[in-house]
Amino acid sequence: MNNKKTVVVGMSGGVDSAVSALLLLEQGYNVQGLFMQNWQSEPGEVCTSEIDFKDAEQVCDQLGIKLFKANFSKDYWENVFKEFLSEHSKGRTPNPDVLCNREIKFKSFKDYAIRIGADFIATGHYASLEKIDGKNFLKRAKDKNKDQTYFLHEVHSDEFENTLFPLANITKPEVRQIAKKYNLPNKDKKDSVGICFIGERNMQDFLSRFLELKKGNIYDPNHEIIGTHQGVTLYTEGQRKGLHIGGIKNAKEEPWYVYKKDIKDNKLYACQGSNNPLLYSKGLILDGLNCITDKLIEELDCEVQIRHRQSPVRCKLNPNKLEVLFKEPVSSVSPGQYAVFYKNDYCLGGGIIEKSIPISL
């Protein structure tokens, strides 16, 4: 009788999930793969999902494990993409990867995995879990550069039950080395970028299929017109690329950055220089606060991260007022993005940024 525990691994076609499956096999688990199709490509589109599935299939064939395929595109549309569009229509800049983890990987995927006999699920996330007094605490991975706890902050402690993160204590270079050592078919495959499960796209062209984008003017801090935009919702506070501002009379030879969006009047405001005070905030207001394990009630000194790749900064969090005050000014706080909180490398939770608090206030 086979007493091995069964782990269903989310196989994306990428090297991280491939090495995760390999490591679990080495640890003695009965490993199965599950490929998720979460986006229905339209005629004429390059179907990256099919490419990724073939890569996942080749890996599973080499490892000798069974690969299942599940279509969660309806769940993705209803629970992730509709909210993504709704936030964009409000002029905010959402992060669908957070919703994707909350709604798909730790709901639809996990439910399906359990139905096909999983004792555990596993993903290729760079993240760690620690059990303390029967509770699951989310913690940063060893590879701080690749750490993905930011994207997992809306998953509740209970939903992490029976979850394994095989890459918790491994760096990305080590993952590549393992893939090459075992000559995995996708050992040299580049990391995926772009929207979760949708991929790398021209955002303007993509969103214009779902939202009405209206062109308008870009203004400087003196309310002088200095250019045109393709639709306010396409831009993010702190954005530098894609503004196409140049040749402004009496302007300094410094790059322009978005510092404000006026959705109602369809106006975009830009200033010059990465150190311009208009780009900086002394804090932010949250739209709500999700706590992963323990509910936060009292004011707390901790760290906050307002983007996945941004270095965390020290702050004071008031969970009752949903107010965050930075220990020093922070640039490019963008409504719609997520503020995620940490204490001693433990991820406490986070919430959507409602608005920034200007330095002048």
Cα–Cα distance measured from residue 168 to residue 288, given in angstroms and rounded to the nearest whole number: 29
Region of residue 287 (phi > 0: left; psi between -120 and 50: alpha; otherwise: beta): alpha
Cα–Cα distance measured from residue 271 to residue 208, given in angstroms and rounded to the nearest whole number: 27
Q: Which of 60, 196, 271, 302 is catalytic?
A: 196
Give the CA radius of gyration of the chain. Answer: 22
Q: What are phi and psi for residue 226, nearest 5 degrees?
A: -125, 0
Cα–Cα distance measured from residue 217 to residue 313, given in angstroms and rounded to the nearest whole number: 34
**302 catalytic residue (yes or no):** no
Q: Which of 47, 60, 100, 291 is catalytic?
A: 100
- What is the CB neighbour count within 10 angstroms for residue 320? 10
Cα–Cα distance measured from residue 262 to residue 212, given in angstroms and rounded to the nearest whole number: 16
Cα–Cα distance measured from residue 103 to residue 237, given in angstroms and rounded to the nearest whole number: 27
| DSSP 8-state assignment for residue 348 | E
| DSSP 8-state assignment for residue 278 | G
Which residues, 6 or more positions from 28, have their beta carbon under 8 angstroms from its beta carbon?
Answer: 4
**271 catalytic residue (yes or no):** no
Secondary structure of residue 1 in the 3-state scheme: coil
> Which amino acid is it at 204?
Q
Taken as a whole, the chain contains a residue count of 361
Q: Give ∠ CA 257-258-259 in degrees, rounded to 5.
A: 110
Report in angstroms the alpha-carbon separations of 144 from 148, 193, 285: 9, 18, 27
- Residues annotated as catalytic are 100, 196
